[in-house]
Structure 1
Amino acid sequence: MLDDLSTYDRPIGDLFPVPASAREWERFRLSDEQVEFFREHGYVSGIRVLSDGQVETLREELRGLMNPSHAKRRLFYEYHANESTDPARVLFHALGAWRAAAGFHDLLWHPAFTVASSQLLGGAAVRFWHDQLFCKPARHGGVVAWHQDYSYWTRTTPLAHLTCWVALDDATRENGCVHYVPGS
């Protein structure tokens, strides 16, 4: 049987070191200005949450997960990949990578997410709802229509949740990136 990483309720590796002191935790806090910007506009951006090494580790895991014959594919809640034989044109969408890959599992406990998320939710404890991988080649279809994530979450109340979006590749206007509507 394959190891389902959802059975582990803490990090299993050392990709995202856990701070050893209160001072170390503090470096993950957002500034008062960032929190206020979020309250006013509904998003905050430009926060570097991953080192180059962490990004490369996650990219490597992602390359393996995108293979439809990946040994842990059955652990995903959803898994969609087109059948293109051209790796530059593969579209990929999946939920559940945290169950199949150690880096994506441990990302859930990364203080850069948990500390900032708690701040933005008014100091509330943070609970993971789900992960999602969405990969598309630059300048290729697969456009995601304008939407509010809240419309997909029927078991919660406003401002009791948020989305943490992280690009593992450069996301620019030219190659297709996320856009946020201020105040939405």
Structure 2
Amino acid sequence: MESKRIAFNKKGFISLDALLSVEEVETIRDIYDQLLQDKEKTGHLRSDLAGGKKEDSKKVERITQIMRPSTIITELLKTGAYKKALYWAKELLGEDMEMDFDMMINKAPHTNTPTPWHQDAAYWIAMPDKRSASCWIALDNVFEENGCMWFIPKKEEQPLLAHKNLPHGGALYCETDTAEAVSVPLEPGGCTFHDGHTLHFSRGNTTNSQRRALILNFRPKKMIDYEREQGVDHTGERKQRNQ
């Protein structure tokens, strides 16, 4: 545990081979697939990170993002993912860590659309306590060809870079040197943790199957309260808030 904590604070990310059991993964997959298929219930929380015009809405979503899925199907909160990820967040960053929000990000087969390089903190308001950990849980075998995570090891006092939006409400992205980037393939139930300033990216899915990921974000309880006081609940417009 100590070695993971040191690595997280030095590099900005770590990986765990098996956060969840096979049975736990199967339970989450069932709920995940229900949400992917139900565009009516998820419509107010759903978007395509690849961006797209309204007239493209009937086409295949290339990078489906569903924010706060556990507010739609609360059974998600009872799965092992939430308890185990919180345990690790507390071990990595302190006992005051709590879950801020969850989200699903799916890459459909043969959509071949990368998630661009970015830092999560660009989406968030500036906060006095910058501690954060995002747990990215693989629900399928993930590898470079279907969109596993890539990270650039964090420099000391990693700055927040200037970000822009992809057209038509797409994801934020930034320009950066990727010479030191490393990929992190995972089996189902494996995960990564990264902090808000760590640069990360994933390639598009060029395979025959889905690339399903569940992401849980953690930060100090006081900072969650601070966000909510500012009206931030991670269900609104996707834009750069922290500059």
TM-score in terms of structure 1 length: 0.69
Distance 1:37 1:83, change over 3 A: same
User: Number of residue pairs matched?
Assistant: 147
1:53 aligns with 2:28: no
User: Equivalent residue for 1:102?
Assistant: 74
1:115 aligns with 2:87: yes
What is the CA distance between 1:104 and its match in structure 2? 2.3
User: Equivalent residue for 2:222?
Assistant: none
- Kindly indicate whether the alpha-carbon contact (under 8 Å) linking 2:20 and 2:81 is maintained by their aligned counterparts in 1: no
1:80 aligns with 2:47: yes
User: Equivalent residue for 1:21?
Assistant: none
Distance 1:174 1:69, change over 3 A: closer
Q: Which has the higher strand share?
A: 2
Distance in 2 between the 1:93 and 1:44 partners? 23
Task: Work out which of the residue numbers 119, 125, 135 in structure 2 matches 1:148.
Answer: 119
What is the CA distance between 1:36 and its match in structure 2? 0.9
What is the CA distance between 1:110 and its match in structure 2? 3.4
Matches of residues 58-73 of structure 1 in structure 2 within 5 Å? 58-70=28-40, 72-73=41-42
SS of 1:66 mapped into structure 2: helix
Distance in 2 between the 1:40 and 1:97 partners? 31
Deviations 1:53-96 (A, max 9, x none): 111111111111112445x436x5x21365347xxx76421102
Distance in 1 between the 2:12 and 2:63 partners? 29
User: Equivalent residue for 2:159?
Assistant: none
Runs of 4+ in 1 over 4 A off after TM superposition: none
Q: Percent of aligned pairs with the same residue?
A: 22
What is the CA distance between 1:160 and its match in structure 2? 1.8
Alignment root-mean-square deviation, CA? 2.5
- Kindly indicate whether the alpha-carbon contact (under 8 Å) linking 2:28 and 2:79 is maintained by their aligned counterparts in 1: no
1:92 aligns with 2:92: no
What is the CA distance between 1:141 and its match in structure 2? 2.9
Structure 2 counterpart of 1:43, one-letter code = F
What is the CA distance between 1:107 and its match in structure 2? 4.5
- Kindly indicate whether the alpha-carbon contact (under 8 Å) linking 1:150 and 1:158 is maintained by their aligned counterparts in 2: no
What is the CA distance between 1:140 and its match in structure 2? 2.3
User: Equivalent residue for 1:128?
Assistant: 99
Distance 1:98 1:167, change over 3 A: same
Distance 1:111 1:61, change over 3 A: closer
Distance in 1 between the 2:116 and 2:63 partners? 16
What is the CA distance between 1:169 and its match in structure 2? 1.0
Unaligned runs of 5+ in 1: 1-30
- Kindly indicate whether the alpha-carbon contact (under 8 Å) linking 2:63 and 2:113 is maintained by their aligned counterparts in 1: yes
Distance in 2 between the 1:43 and 1:171 partners? 17
